[in-house]
Structure 1
Amino acid sequence: MQNRRPYRIVMTVVCFVFAALNGYRILQGNYSGMDVFLLVVFLAFGLIYLFILLRKKNDA
């Protein structure tokens, strides 16, 4: 099976960076409903990737 750990690390960082950019835009007050939606989506995907990275491997 292919090792996807580097890909998951990059995707986690990218998701949190985009979430932070949307959060910054929201804090400035210049935002739309789509910015809030994207903030939630990027945070969700970032947390999912983080959970996948931190979980213990099941050695069967």
Structure 2
Amino acid sequence: MFEDDNDREYRVVRNHEAQFSVWPADRPAPPGWEPVGVAGTKSACLAHIATVWTDLRPLSLRP
């Protein structure tokens, strides 16, 4: 199975800097990242990220 396979289930994860990513749902989140409760296809997860992550700067650099 390819990592870009849109049929695989993914989940949205976030780090302490409020940065988002997608991660395979069948693997534990990487250190420093936690699931935010959204899962589905890669494209669905990326669409969710596009709506909630409007300021791409790390949290520590935001005013």
Higher gyration radius (CA): 1
The interval holding the TM-score normalised by the smaller chain is under 0.3
Tell me: higher relative CO, structure 1 or 2? Use CA pairs within 8 A at least 6 residues apart.
Answer: 1
- Considering fraction of residues, name the structure with more helix: 1
Give the TM-score of the pair, scaled to structure 1: 0.28
